[in-house]
Amino acid sequence: MTQATAESTTRFADAHAAVLARADAAGTGALNDTRRAAFDAFTAQSIPTLKHEDWRYTDLRELNKTDYAPAEPNTDVTADDIAPFLIPNLDTHLIVFVDGHWREDLSAIDEHPEGTAIGTLAQAYAKGCTGITDYLGKQVDLETDAMSALNTALMEDGAAIYLKPGKTIDKPIHVLSVATAKAAGTMTHPRNLIVAGEDASVTVLEHYVTLGGENYFNNAVTELFAADRAEVHHYLLEREAESAVNISTLEIHQGEKSDVHSHTVLLGGKLVRNNVRPTMAGEDGHCLINGLFVGHGDQTLDNAMRVEHNAPNCRSRQFYKGIMSDKSHGVFTGRIVVAEEGQQTDAIQSNRNMLLSDDARMNARPQLEIYADDVRCTHGATTGQVDPEAVFYFRARGLPEDVARAMLIYAFAAEGFDRMQLVPVRALLANEMIAKLPMANKLSAEFNEEIKQRLYRI
Amino acid sequence: MTTTEEVAKITQDKRDYKYGFVTDIEQEFAPPGLNEDIVRFISAKKGEPEWLLEWRLKAFRHWQTMEEPDWQFLPYSYERPNYQGISYYAAPKEKPKSLDEIDPAILETYNKLGIPLEEQKVLAGVEGAATSAADALGGGGGKVAVDAVFDSVSVATTFQDELEKHGIIFCSISEAVKNHGDLVKRYLGSVVPYSDNFYATLNSAVFSDGSFVYIPKGVKCPMELSTYFRINASNTGQFERTLIIADEGSTVSYLEGCTAPMRDENQLHAAVVELVAHKDATIKYSTIQNWYPGDETGKGGIFNFVTKRGICEGDRSHISWTQVETGSAVTWKYPSCILKGDDSKAEFYSVALTNLRQQADTGTKMIHIGKNTTSHIISKGISAGEGHNTYRGLVQMNKGAANAKNFTQCDSILIGDRCGAHTFPYIDVRNPTASAEHEASTTKIAEDQLFYCTARGIEEEDAVSLLVNGFCKEVFNELPMEFAVEANKLLAVSLEGSVG
Q: Quick one: angle between helices B460-476 and B4-15, nearest 10?
A: 90
Q: Per-residue pLDDT for A207 more than 90?
A: yes
d(CA A16, CA A32): 10
d(CA A405, CA A389): 11
Separation in Å, CA of B58 to nearest CA in chain A:
26
d(CA B145, CA B160): 8
Residue pair A301/A333 in contact by the 8 Å Cβ criterion: no
Q: What is the ipTM of this complex?
A: 0.80
Give A69's strand partners: A186
pLDDT at B5: 58
Q: Do A366 and B438 touch (CB under 8 A)?
A: yes
Query: CA-CA distances (angstroms) from residue B85 to B41, B151, B426?
Result: 17, 16, 36
Q: Per-residue pLDDT for B97 more than 70?
A: no
- Name which of A72-76, A396-400, B230-234 the model is least confident about: B230-234
By C-alpha distance, which of A378, A388, A377 is closest to A354? Answer: A388
Write down the domain spans for chain A. 3-282, 386-458
Mean pLDDT, chain B, integer: 79
Residue pair A381/A358 in contact by the 8 Å Cβ criterion: no
Q: Do A363 and B444 touch (CB under 8 A)?
A: no
Cβ-based interface (< 8 Å): residues of B facing A: 71, 73, 397, 399, 412, 414-444
Query: CA-CA distances (angstroms) from residue A391 to A388, A397, A412, B139, B499?
Result: 5, 10, 13, 57, 52
- Name which of A189-203, A245-259, B203-217 the model is least confident about: B203-217
pLDDT at A5: 54
User: What does the pLDDT average to over B56-62?
Assistant: 93
User: What does the pLDDT average to over B408-419?
Assistant: 88
A444: pLDDT confidence band, cut at 50, 70 and 90?
low
Q: Per-residue pLDDT for A405 more than 90?
A: no
Does B495 or A256 have the greater pLDDT score?
A256
State the DSSP string of A380-413: EEEEE-S-HHHHHHHHHTT--HHHHHHHHHHHHH
pLDDT at A152: 96
- The separation between CA A300 and the C-alpha centre of its own chain, rounded to angstroms, equals 15
User: What does the pLDDT average to over A291-298?
Assistant: 93
Q: Do A355 and B441 touch (CB under 8 A)?
A: no
Q: Per-residue pLDDT for B133 more than 80?
A: no
Q: Which of A440-454, B26-40, B171-185 has the highest mean pLDDT?
A: B171-185
B74: pLDDT confidence band, cut at 50, 70 and 90?
confident
pLDDT at B137: 34
Quick check: A363 contacting B, CB < 8 Å? yes
Separation in Å, CA of A67 to nearest CA in chain B:
33
Separation in Å, CA of B81 to nearest CA in chain A:
24
Separation in Å, CA of A358 to nearest CA in chain B:
6
Q: What is the pLDDT of residues B152-173, one digit of tens each?
A: 555 556 677 788 888 999 888 8
Q: Which of A44-48, A194-198, B44-48 has the highest mean pLDDT?
A: A194-198
What are the helix (H) ranges across B341-480?
447-455, 460-476
d(CA B150, CA A24): 74
The sign one gets for the Cα dihedral A139, A142, A147, A150 is positive
Cβ-Cβ contacts under 8 Å, B429 against chain A: 353, 355, 361-364, 383-384
Q: Do A373 and B429 touch (CB under 8 A)?
A: no
Residue pair A301/A270 in contact by the 8 Å Cβ criterion: no
Residue pair A283/A255 in contact by the 8 Å Cβ criterion: no
pLDDT at A312: 95
Does A294 or B71 have the greater pLDDT score?
A294
Q: Per-residue pLDDT for B37 more than 70?
A: yes
Q: Per-residue pLDDT for B139 more than 50?
A: no
Q: What is the pLDDT of residues B324-349, one digit of tens each?
A: 888 888 888 999 999 999 999 999 99
